[in-house]
Amino acid sequence: MSSSDFRQIAVRKDSGKAERLFRAAVSAFCSLTRPSRREIGQLEDLTLPLFDNVSVESRRYVAAALSECEYAPAALVRRLCEEPVDIAAPLLIRSRAVNDIDLIALIGRHGLPHARAIGRRKGLNPTIADLIRALERPTLVRVREPEAKAIAADEMVSVSTETASDEPAREQALGIAAENARRRLRSMMRTGDETAATNADLFTGADTYVKLRETALTGNAAFFQTALADALDIDFSIARSLTANHNYASLLAALRSLDLSEDKAFLIAVAVYPSQFPHPQAIRTFLDRYRQLHREAAQDKVRHWKAETLSRVVRDAAPANSDTRMASNSDDAAETSGLRASSRK
């Protein structure tokens, strides 16, 4: 029997069987010393559709089990990390399947509760640690001296470092630094309803589709990758990686996030991956996968790609040594980091 057969039996019979299957599958997986990619994929195929049918206790149990697993399935871990912190905490603290990009995105979406758990990770990226301190204790954030001077200058505040007794001015400078860090984090990881609505209006426009279609039909991969980067607002290198795979899975998610119709999405996909559609069954498979992929899930993937772009900005902006100064403002930093593949009208 396939994993889908077991899943259907569990859901059809009763919720108790779904619970037992969910826990047993993860327990069996964690006992494997070095699971194969196929086994990782099978676990995801089995557990993710059951996720909404299992209790909080089962999710907490699975999160704790996978937090100690060296080869935990990334998709299941990411889904668990989106849960409240009392469920996600073990993964946020210990899991190797959660990288810096994921951590930045999680802080942006869930704020202080997730940030506090992430702050307990061993070997945490110093930049992420600074952001967490800024969120938690803004007046006590310790910033590097070059950063403090640059941020104070940005805010038109002058602090004499030679006057040791000038505590109010020093505290004010630290407060400004903390607020500046919080502002940058909010602007980088903004994924609220207002931004989502704005992006939805932009992405579903006819001009976006026409640009993607025409560049795809040129046969020049770089032209299409540039258009895709602009449409999704991601870095060009990430857009290039989405179309460099042997299958169209990543491209399918990108097109679904733009809310393109099935025929428009297929036209673009077949232009980019002509060898993937040698017969009608392949076309039918694409359309079925496109219909079954929820737009919200596709948008989550796009947010992940954006987080990857933004994490590069954070890394590039971090001082390499004590003589490095931060960029004068976040707009210049975004421009120099190449967030846009080409200028937007």
The sign one gets for the Cα dihedral 277, 283, 287, 288 is: negative
Percent above pLDDT 70 for the chain? 65
Q: Identify the top-confidence range among 64-68, 292-296, 323-327.
A: 64-68
Query: Which one is predicted more confidently, 232 or 101?
Result: 232
Average pLDDT for the chain: 74
pTM over 0.75: no
Structure-token pair, residue 82? 């989106």
d(CA 178, CA 171): 10
Structure-token pair, residue 32? 């494997």
Position 328 scores a pLDDT of: 44
Structure-token pair, residue 214? 């025409």
How many CB atoms sit inside 10 A of residue 259's CB?
Answer: 14
Position 174 scores a pLDDT of: 54
Position 315 scores a pLDDT of: 64
Q: pLDDT grade, residue 202 (50/70/90)?
A: very low
| 78 to 92, 127, 159: CA distances (angstroms) | 10, 21, 44
Position 170 scores a pLDDT of: 56
Position 331 scores a pLDDT of: 47
Position 37 scores a pLDDT of: 86
Q: Please name which of 173, 171, 138, 182 lies closest in space to residue 155, comparing C-alpha atoms.
A: 173
Mean pLDDT, range 201-219, rounded to an integer: 74
What b/e string do you get for 158-187 counting C-beta neighbours within 10 Å, with b at 16 or more? ebeeeeeeeeebbebbbbbbbbbbeebbee
d(CA 268, CA 251): 9
Mean pLDDT, range 63-74, rounded to an integer: 92
Residues in the chain: 345
How many CB atoms sit inside 10 A of residue 87's CB?
Answer: 21
Mean pLDDT, range 202-206, rounded to an integer: 46
Q: Residue 1, exposed/middle/buried by CB under 10 A (0-12, 13-18, 19+)?
A: exposed
The answer to which of 7-21, 92-106, 112-126, 221-235 has the lowest mean pLDDT is 7-21
Q: CA 193, 89, 26, 109: dihedral to nearest 10 degrees?
A: 10
Percent above pLDDT 90 for the chain? 21
Position 177 scores a pLDDT of: 56
